[in-house]
A and B are shown apart, each in its own frame.
Chain A
Amino acid sequence: MAKKSAYERPTLSKAGTF
């Protein structure tokens, strides 16, 4: 069975403007 990736809190970050 494949090892699962480590869980981290889902984050949405405003990165800037284009």
Chain B
Amino acid sequence: MSWRLRDRVSWAPTEYGGVLLDCASGEYWTLNSTAAAVLAALLAGADIAGATAHLAGEFDGDLDVVAVEVPQLVAELQGAGLVVER
């Protein structure tokens, strides 16, 4: 399963992570550096397992912890209406 931004959602990487702008609702969201790395991997075509592996490779984290927290983030992104399945 791969992911894309919902229509009218814009993504801007920043020095500390990133910002998502929902132009439909006027809300904006911030992501920290690890969340931004996950989103970037997802938008590049990775599935959740791939994004997890990417994050574990980029950051000094316990793979077991990363494997729990990445799906939680994706669920949050989906629940907020920011990403949808391709």
| Complex interface residues of chain B between 20 and 75 (CB less than 8 A to chain A) | 20-21, 25-35, 37-38, 55, 58-62, 65-66, 69-70, 72-73
User: How many residue pairs between the two chains, A and B, have CB atoms under 8 Å in the bound complex?
Assistant: 71
Our pick among A7, A11, A12, A18 for the contact of B66 (Cβ within 8 Å) is: A7
List the interface of chain B (C-beta within 8 A of A). Answer: 19-21, 25-35, 37-38, 55, 58-62, 65-66, 69-70, 72-73, 76-77, 80, 82
- How far apart are B12's CB and chain A's nearest CB, in angstroms? 12
Contact A12 B69 (CB under 8 A): no
A-B contact pairs, 7 of them (CB 8 A): A4-B60, A7-B61, A8-B59, A10-B32, A12-B30, A12-B31, A15-B19
